[in-house]
Structure 1
Amino acid sequence: MLKSRTLWISVGVLAVLGLIAAVALMWRPAIAPIKRPTSFDTAQLQRGARVVEAGDCAVCHTRPGGEYLAGGLPLVTPFGTLYSTNITPDAQTGIGEWSLPAFERAMREGIARDGHFLYPAFPYVHYRRMSSEDIADAYAYLMSGPAVHAPARQNQMNFPMNIRPLVSFWNLLFLHGEPLTPLAEHSAAWNRGRYLVDGPGHCAGCHSPLNLIGAEKSSEYLKGGSVDGWEAPALVGLGQRANPWNREQLVGYLRADVVNGHGTPAGPMRPGSLSLARLPASEAEAIADYLLSLQNPHAVSETTAQRSPSSPADHSSGALLFSSACAGCHAPAAPMREIDGRPGLQSTSALQAASSRNFLKTVLE
């Protein structure tokens, strides 16, 4: 009888301790609101503008036709639809009452000022790898902008992901890593490129496959993913392909140029490349140096490896469609080829890829 009572007491104690641990894991304190700071150094604001651009903040936090950084853009995920939030310095609906420590906690841990968990669609997994200086500069830039009153739209998340505290368990599994430090064996440009790719640029968020609960598969870093119905191609082995990239081509592509032999960014990559185009060219050059150093040990031709051969009827109808709809700009003798460098479609990356998805999306959308 005594042993049975002792067992039940032990079970009860463990249950209480487990509950306390779960509550501790799922609760974060609020950080006191502040009065919006308004005085910042001009040089810091210039640096902050570059950080915000490199982090693609406006791409997600500005909806079409909406105010700059006022949020409201729908982000469709496998777990439901999220709406980006207002990151202007409005006190009621934005981040105007956030202190720098509150902002840095959000960037590194995914916790809002009032203590609620942010969904990992906000790439704090990558932003936590940024330097404290860059985060402070981004904060200064955001706080210096015009305040826009724009209340957050209600998210439409599926059960159980509509229960925000459960994100704490996701964080426990996947929120790792510290701010990046330079590697001495590599050049300053290579280290800068690595920082931009793995930190503010959060490239792996699209260009790496995700697991069933939306976390990047670390073992398949930059080996390709999908976003909004588009294929985000692998970024490893770019120089090893049947239609390889060189540094000049990759820099131009990253800066939204039309690149002979590869085309120009489209889909979700387009606004990211336009952001990079607003930064000094050295940023895109650094990213190119880093990406071109990433080898694919299992490189295979991506030209026709996964395609079925087409029939003569397909060739005939395809030729007719091309001559009637595409040749005016893309045929070898088309004037547009000379005027703006419009590429021949047969050599673009979208058509050289194993999947035709991106080419079809480009044509249809």
Structure 2
Amino acid sequence: MLCEGRRKMRTGAWLFACAVLSAQAAVAADAKLVRGKYLVEGVLACANCHAVRDKTGAVIAEKGMAGGFEFAEEMFKSYASNITPDRETGIGKWTDAQLAKAIREGIRPDGSLIGPPMPIQFYRSLSDADLAATIRYLRAQPAVVNQVPKSTFNFPLPPNYGPPLKNVASPSPKDKVAYGGYLVAIAHCMECHTPRDERGMLVMTSLGAGGQNIKGPWGDSISRNLTPHAEGLRDWSDEQIAAAIRTGKDRSGKPYKPPMAFDWYHNINDADMAAIVAYLRTLPPQQGSGSK
């Protein structure tokens, strides 16, 4: 009887340990999903491009991120892809590894390169943990059937956007400026807020100086100067900068035009917003042609 009791105790302890591990795994999985939701619906603002929109540009929420929005530029006509888990028109057949490679390296499962305006050079900064959380959240979305036209480019795409990536980490949130730089990178702020040369390439020596004319259904949208220059954010308070990012209005209340992703950036939490502002303060002051 004593041996039988001990055997039952060992079995009970094993079952309890399994239950604890299962519970911990469930919590970890939920935490990943929560983080993914925060990233996709906040910092990354994926739906700013990948949402389905009506003729007025309003988001059709029930169609999720099934894509189709047209970016018509002089050098290309690009369509936002369907990133819902539909197996025929979306990412349903892609493995996690394939999806990770597409997001962070711009390479589809068939080996073809994703072209602009997908901000691959900034998504290359996305940490392994945040990339996994993003994929987890995309997997959890409803599958929506939407066949998107193929993008066309009037110039050769590069062979790649850089060497294969692995073991990418983000700075610690305790390092406010460094973490703010990470958030600004994955939020791809500089994709619009940095001037481009005659070939359409970002002029990284003028990082944040603004002045891009981004055309769309909204007309001409001139990106503003984000540096601490007199024509930039030098005289703005931290609160004014945060409010502008979240509301899409300047400090006088004048609304900004799309494609500024304020419909998603308003979900950025206070700590992350403070880090973003702290990083912007460290940019070298640049004179540019961005709107004031």
The TM-score range, normalised by the shorter chain, is 0.7 to 0.9
- Tell me which structure has the larger Cα radius of gyration: 1
**In the alignment, structure 1 residue 116 sits paired with structure 2 residue 107:** no
Q: Is the 8 A contact 2:105 2:164 kept in 1?
A: no
Indicate the residue corresponding to 1:217 in structure 2: 203
Indicate the residue corresponding to 1:244 in structure 2: 235
Deviation at 1:213, TM superposition (A): 3.1
SS of 1:274's partner is helix
Alignment root-mean-square deviation, CA:
2.8
Higher RCO (C-alpha 8 Å, min separation 6): 2
Task: Normalising by structure 1, report the TM-score.
Answer: 0.62
Across the two proteins, how many residue pairs are aligned to each other?
A: 250
Indicate the residue corresponding to 1:14 in structure 2: none
Partner deviation per Cα, 1:92-144 (whole Å, 9 max, x = no partner): 11011111111111122211112211103111111011101111100000001
Equivalents in 2 of 1:240, 1:176: separation in Å? 37
Q: Is the 8 A contact 2:84 2:142 kept in 1?
A: yes
Equivalents in 1 of 2:283, 2:222: separation in Å? 19
What letter corresponds to residue 255 of structure 1 in structure 2? R
Indicate the residue corresponding to 1:358 in structure 2: none
Indicate the residue corresponding to 2:50 in structure 1: 61
Indicate the residue corresponding to 1:357 in structure 2: none
What letter corresponds to residue 206 of structure 1 in structure 2? C
Equivalents in 2 of 1:64, 1:95: separation in Å? 20
SS of 2:72's partner is strand
SS of 1:255's partner is helix
Equivalents in 2 of 1:79, 1:249: separation in Å? 36
Percent identity of equivalent pairs: 28
Equivalents in 2 of 1:133, 1:223: separation in Å? 31
Q: Is the 8 A contact 1:125 1:176 kept in 2?
A: no
Equivalents in 2 of 1:264, 1:276: separation in Å? 17
Indicate the residue corresponding to 1:327 in structure 2: none
Indicate the residue corresponding to 1:204 in structure 2: 190
Partner deviation per Cα, 1:209-236 (whole Å, 9 max, x = no partner): 1223322112121111312222111211
Structure number having the greater helix percentage: 1
SS of 2:78's partner is strand
Indicate the residue corresponding to 2:13 in structure 1: none
Which stretch shifts more, 282-291 or 54-63?
282-291
Indicate the residue corresponding to 2:70 in structure 1: 74
SS of 1:168's partner is coil
Q: 1:177 to 1:265 in 2, by over 3 A?
A: farther
Q: Is the 8 A contact 2:36 2:134 kept in 1?
A: yes
Equivalents in 2 of 1:91, 1:103: separation in Å? 13
Partner deviation per Cα, 1:143-190 (whole Å, 9 max, x = no partner): 0110001111233543xx3xxxx4234x4xx6479746539xx95222
Q: Is the 8 A contact 1:89 1:145 kept in 2?
A: yes
SS of 1:244's partner is coil
* Structure 2 portions without partners, runs of 5+: 1-27, 55-59
Indicate the residue corresponding to 1:188 in structure 2: 175
Partner deviation per Cα, 1:259-314 (whole Å, 9 max, x = no partner): 6x4435421254x1221112322222221111122231x659x9xxxxxxxxxxxx
* Structure 1 portions without partners, runs of 5+: 1-39, 303-348, 354-365
Equivalents in 2 of 1:119, 1:265: separation in Å? 30
1:42 to 25, 30, 36: 30
Partner deviation per Cα, 1:9-28 (whole Å, 9 max, x = no partner): xxxxxxxxxxxxxxxxxxxx
Q: 1:41 to 1:293 in 2, by over 3 A?
A: same
Indicate the residue corresponding to 2:225 in structure 1: 234
Q: Is the 8 A contact 1:253 1:264 kept in 2?
A: no
Equivalents in 1 of 2:188, 2:279: separation in Å? 14
**In the alignment, structure 1 residue 292 sits paired with structure 2 residue 281:** yes
